Amino acid sequence: MSFDLAIDTEPEVAGPEGDFPPGTILVERYQVLQVLGRGGMGSVYLAEHVEVGRKVAIKVLLPQWSQTESIVRRFRAEARTASTIGHPNIVQVFDAGTLPDRRLFLVMEHLAGRDLEAELIENTCVEIRRACTIMRQIALALGAGHRAGIVHRDLKPSNIMLVPMPDGEAVKVLDFGIAANSGLIVAGAERITSPGSLMGTPEYMAPEQATNMPARPTFDVYAMGVMLFEMLTGDIPFSASNAFELLAFKLNRPAPSIETRRAGLPPALVRLISDCLTIDAADRPADGDAVAARLEPILQELRTRRTMATNPGVEAISLQPTLTAMRASASMAGAKPTPGTTLVPTRREAPAYRAASVALALLAALGLGLVVWLLRAGPEPTPPPPELAAVVPPAAVEPAPVPKDSSPPPPAIAPPVEPTVEPPPPPTEPGPPPEATTARPNPKTSARPGGDAHLAPRCQRVRTSAEDARRSQRWAILRDYSRQRECWASSAEARKLETKALMELGDFTGCMSVGKGLKDQEAQGWLKLCQKRVGG
């Protein structure tokens, strides 16, 4: 399971004894500002470096876990892994060590944002271009790790932080606590995890990951495919009543095409997701760099589509009125276009031609007034000068008599007229009244604690899986499902399940921390047992 300390941030859950109050100075350089979260293995604090003023996040393990050899190895691996890769899309680790009371601590950059899981709970889906942009940054981060021989193994939305920036959105990959060095594993070095244990989150795990196969970059590629699928559809490809059934589905059934859940996606994106989710790892993109390379042309296509939609080309605009004005202006000036020249105005030039059309219309009106005055002035009006005749509409005046021995006057040129837009005809049938149009309900929009989140299909699956885990005594799975607080009708209900799971897993201090304040009689019994074990 994921080694994540920042799990429970509910204010009513008091911290275990030994929490550092605000103002505490750790290792002579970090001043604690507040508690960001608590979990069964420790706490996370917001702190500030006393010398440079930089805000940081500090993970501190509980004493009993700081003495557990496997946990110590995993904790130190997280610090080494993030520092070894050193990629801008991976959370930075600044410091690590041991406190005077022998508790381990880890100092990381503080990220002012929210994780992708919270984004999906609120908005259900992510816009296509943004989803591809987020995944490309994830792929680049994992690609850097894969080049260093490091596989994340627990990629999921809660391990992806979205950080607003002045020029866009930064993506940070978190929690390399169970990352594996594939080079070391191949060489036969000691594993961080124990044989037979499931390390990862079943919904995002590759099929072969359940077989205890050595870690490969294709583990992370599969997880990227699941996350892209979820961002674009609001749901994961497979669902089942429990983790083992889910992994069995993945091993024996091909993943559904994303086109069955959402139509209209770019074909290249559909193929990429399908390739990431293949059962045979050899058919997937090789690593994070390969996924990023395939996302780049997809993003370019999406950018082109957006540009064409918001800034259409001149071929989508009717140019006939403007061309008419150009020809009329050229005729009046006595200029002829060069043979082979095409008059194609740009959108920026159009206002100038409209101004010319207005001027010509005014000149035509002036000429018409002059002709009318001349007709009234005498019985035999003289024809207007050629330059005025050129702008008078032929239907406006009667043609002057032409002597037999004279040549006919030049034909008049009609002035350009601004195109008129006729109003659209009224609808033949009235549309439905406003109240007849109703919005389609969004299953995740209200997915917040205290709302209707627990009624969403995903949360129903979470509760079903948690109940099955409790019946089959798979306590680690029950613990993880109970921590998805938004999927329960009340915080107390979820905390009771987590308290039970922590007690059965031997995390007695975490059991007391999570269960403190519960009034349920059964939970009170568990708390007394945990207190006794801690005291013993």
Element (DSSP H or E) covering residue 269: helix 267-276
| Residues shown for the chain | 536
Element (DSSP H or E) covering residue 515: helix 508-515
Tokens of 249: 């589905």
Tokens of 204: 């995002």
Query: Got the DSSP string for 186-224?
Result: HTTPPPSSPTT---S-GGG--GGGGGTPPP-HHHHHHHH
In angstroms, the CA 93 to CA 106 distance is 7
Nearest to 135 by CA among 282, 294, 275: 294
Element (DSSP H or E) covering residue 169: strand 168-173
- Residue 59 is assigned to a ligand binding site: yes
Contact at 8 Å (CB) between 124 and 445? yes
In angstroms, the CA 100 to CA 421 distance is 81
Catalytic, out of 4, 115, 154, 468: 154
In angstroms, the CA 463 to CA 483 distance is 11
Angle at 114 between CA 123 and CA 43, to 5 degrees: 135
Element (DSSP H or E) covering residue 143: helix 128-147
In angstroms, the CA 218 to CA 222 distance is 6
In angstroms, the CA 172 to CA 87 distance is 9
Judge residue 264's burial from the number of C-beta atoms within 10 Å of its C-beta, 0-12 exposed, 13-18 middle, 19 or more buried: exposed
Known catalytic membership, residue 154:
yes
Contact at 8 Å (CB) between 355 and 323? no
CA quadruple 5, 8, 10, 13: dihedral sign? negative
Helices (H), ranges, 378-456: 386-389
Contact at 8 Å (CB) between 143 and 115? no
Angle at 169 between CA 168 and CA 171, to 5 degrees: 150
Q: How far is CA 450 from the centre of its chain?
A: 25
Q: Which residues are annotated as a binding site for ATP?
A: 59
Q: Which residues are annotated as a binding site?
A: 59
Q: Active-site residue numbers?
A: 154
